[in-house]
Amino acid sequence: MLIDTGVGPGPVARWPGVEGNLLPTFREQSGYGPEDIDMVFTTHLHFDHVGWHVTRINGELTAAFPNAKYVVSKTDWETLLDPSLPQQGPHKHDYSPGAAEVFQLARPTADDLMAVTDVQTVIN
């Protein structure tokens, strides 16, 4: 099981220079390959927790951990996919000042993840 995948490969529009190296260094750091992970659990759907959920291999979008079930909080998943999610400011499920922006940064990853695998939600 892997918990969260951190900041993705970048660039992150709002934070230039912010990028993660989880996937390129995963085997070296953990001794396991992405194919060895059977569950990716996401604590919450902020962009800095889901960045390596998906990747591109030879230009093709794929789950970064191809044999894993991806599990997320039902509340976070529904919030992220809520069409009424504001573009900026607070959100009813996350009261931090920039909550909506943080969710908006994660939305493309969620869309990509839905395109390549089934996402399982759990009630929190």
Strand partners, 12: 15
pLDDT at 51 over 80: yes
Answer for the pair 8, 51: CB distance below 8 angstroms, yes or no.
yes
Question: pLDDT tens for residues 71-107?
Answer: 999 988 988 888 877 776 666 666 667 777 777 888 8
- Where do we find the tokens 């996401």? 42
Answer for the pair 119, 28: CB distance below 8 angstroms, yes or no.
no
CATH of domain 2-122: 3.60.15.10
Give phi and psi for 69, each to the nearest 5: -85, 135
Question: pLDDT tens for residues 21-43?
Answer: 999 999 999 999 999 999 999 99
pTM of the entire predicted model = 0.86
Task: Give the model's pLDDT for residue 58.
Answer: 93
- Where do we find the tokens 């934070």? 15
Q: What is the rounded distance in angstroms from the CA atom of residue 100 to the CA atom of residue 47?
A: 11
